[in-house]
Amino acid sequence: MTYEDIRKANESIKTTDIKGKEYAEVPQRVKAFRMLYPLGFIRTEMLSNEGEPGKRVCVFRACVGVGEITLGTGTAYESEASSFINKTSYIENCETSAVGRALGFAGLGIDTSIASYEEVQNAIQNQTKGGRGPVEAPEASKAGNNTRTAVKTPEPAPSVPARASVTIEQPQITVLRTAMQQIGQTEDKMLKHYGKERIEDLTGEEYADALDKIKACKDRRKK
């Protein structure tokens, strides 16, 4: 597989316009992945799904690759109460966003952003419901893509928040503290690793990463 093969696969990806910026939908990234790696794998794992009914929050981790080679990983964080759609589909949306990010880090559909169209739409809905101000998403490379589909978005549509900017809530704090106790890790050590003063300041990305590290520690101890 060469860079030229990846470039050609990216040219086949249709993008969707959101407030003047193009985003690739997850199905388009999956199609391009299958073009390049027909026997490749897309694996997902729910790292947590905690909270009381109606206010649950889940974290998914996705991994894509071929054979024994991992090409990209991604994590996503969704709250059941964050939008009308998430009331019934927050788990599915979380898994889809994680897969989209993993495929993005594998180099597919990232001409303007690692974030997928689905992730961006969820973020806009969450902002609109929560009344939160705009937070700029990180910029990606500016390679061109001429295949575009325009859709209408609510006005005024805020700019997309980076997933890493969303801090965790009490159910996740409880889960994380319990998990750290199980392996004998101190909260101070964990906070120092992420450069935070309080556990409440951890982001969804950092929470998922911490749970991933704790799970890996448990697996090593079982061997």
What's the pTM? Answer: 0.59
195-223 pLDDT, tens digit each: 999 988 887 777 778 877 887 887 788 77
Query: What range does the domain containing 158 cover?
Result: 1-142+152-163
Domain co-membership, 108 together with 34: yes
The answer as to whether 147 is a domain residue is no
Phi-psi domain of 68 (left: phi exceeds 0; alpha: psi -120 through 50; beta: other): alpha
Query: Among residues 131, 163, 195, which one ends one of the domains?
Result: 163
The answer as to whether 76 is a domain residue is yes
Domain co-membership, 192 together with 94: no
Task: Give me the helix-helix angle, 86-105 and 117-130, nearest 10°.
Answer: 140
The answer as to whether 23 is a domain residue is yes
Domain co-membership, 9 together with 62: yes
Q: Of all helices (H) and strands (E), which one includes residue 110?
A: none
Q: How many domains does the chain have?
A: 2
Identity (one letter) of the amino acid at 171? Answer: P
Task: Please state the three-class secondary structure of 21-56 as a single string.
Answer: EEEECHHHHHHHHHHHCCCCEEEEEEEEEECCCCCC
Domain co-membership, 18 together with 112: yes
Mean pLDDT rounded to a whole number for the chain: 76
The answer as to whether 206 is a domain residue is yes
142-175 pLDDT, tens digit each: 333 444 444 343 333 333 333 444 566 766 677 7
Least confident of 38-47, 78-87, 123-132: 123-132
The answer as to whether 21 is a domain residue is yes
6-40 pLDDT, tens digit each: 888 888 888 887 777 778 889 999 999 999 999 99
Domain co-membership, 134 together with 179: no
The answer as to whether 159 is a domain residue is yes
**In this predicted structure, what is the pLDDT of residue 180?**
85
Domain co-membership, 206 together with 103: no
Domain co-membership, 57 together with 122: yes
Q: Of 31 and 113, which is predicted with more confidence?
A: 31
Domain co-membership, 81 together with 174: no
